[in-house]
């Protein structure tokens, strides 16, 4: 807390006035970090087409993290702390379930509206969620991967492969 206070230009007492401790501060910082992602989910669900909503989210999500290496580093460091302390899991469990449910809702809506073929929406939602979070780190590590290439592969695998075969517009 001394280091955090020093870097923030605050007294340790000022930090403790707002946060009970490091864990509380960590959770609060992560809630701020995930707020833009939650906004992206809300915006994607306002699209009339769930397929376009998925495309929009995937593109925004990948580009959001690609443009924010410091936040991505903080996220990865936070996850090591969260995984080591079950008391911190509750926020991430809720976020993870909301994230998964978001993908599942759009996929189910796509099937119901005839934009997507019938499939295991929950399973695909889980695969998409895991793949998106996994690829973000690889975009930093592997200089041969580009955002545009990754985005197009996500569209191919998670959306275009489910489009009805006849008369479908991939745009």
Q: What structural domains does the chain harbor?
A: 21-162 (1.10.357.10)
Higher pLDDT, 163 or 94: 163
Supply the pLDDT for residue 170. Answer: 46
- Report the distance separating Cα 121 and Cα 52, nearest Å: 16
pLDDT digits (tens, 9 = 90+) for 6-60: 777 877 777 777 777 777 777 777 778 888 999 999 999 999 999 999 999 999 9
Residue 167 has pLDDT above 60, yes or no: no
pLDDT for the residue numbered 107:
98
Answer yes or no: is pLDDT of 130 > 60: yes
Q: Give pLDDT, residue 171.
A: 45
Beta strands in the chain (DSSP E): none
pLDDT band of residue 166 (cuts 50, 70, 90) is low
pLDDT surpasses 50 at 3: yes
pLDDT, tens digit, 9 for 90 and up, residues 80-126? 877 887 777 777 788 889 999 999 999 999 999 999 999 999 999 99
In Å, what is the CA distance from 123 to each residue of 52, 59, 104, 167?
20, 21, 8, 26
pLDDT at position 57 = 98
Q: How confident is the model at residue 76 (pLDDT cuts 50, 70, 90)?
A: confident
**100-110 burial, b for 16+ CB within 10 Å, e for fewer?**
bebbbbbbbbb
Half-sphere exposure in the Cβ direction for 55 (13 Å, CA): 16
Q: Distance of alpha carbon 24 from its chain centroid, rounded? A: 21
* pLDDT value of position 2: 73
In the block, residue with structure tokens 């925004």: 60
């Amino acid at each position: 807390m001394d280091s955090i206070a020093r870097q923030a230009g605050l007294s340790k007492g000022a930090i403790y006035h707002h946060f009970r401790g490091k864990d509380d501060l960590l959770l609060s910082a992560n809630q701020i970090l995930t707020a833009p992602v939650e906004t992206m989910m809300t915006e994607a669900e306002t699209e009339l087409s769930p397929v376009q909503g998925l495309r929009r989210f995937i593109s925004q999500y990948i580009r959001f993290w690609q443009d924010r290496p410091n936040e991505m580093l903080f996220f990865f460091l936070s996850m090591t702390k969260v995984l080591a302390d079950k008391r911190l899991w509750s926020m991430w469990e809720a976020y993870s379930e909301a994230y998964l449910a978001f993908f599942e809702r759009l996929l189910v809506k796509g099937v119901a509206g005839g934009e997507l073929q019938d499939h295991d929406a929950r399973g695909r939602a889980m695969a998409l969620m895991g793949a998106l979070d996994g690829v973000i780190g690889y975009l930093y590590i592997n200089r041969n991967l580009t955002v545009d290439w990754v985005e197009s592969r996500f569209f191919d695998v998670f959306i275009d492969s489910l489009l009805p075969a006849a008369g479908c517009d991939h745009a």
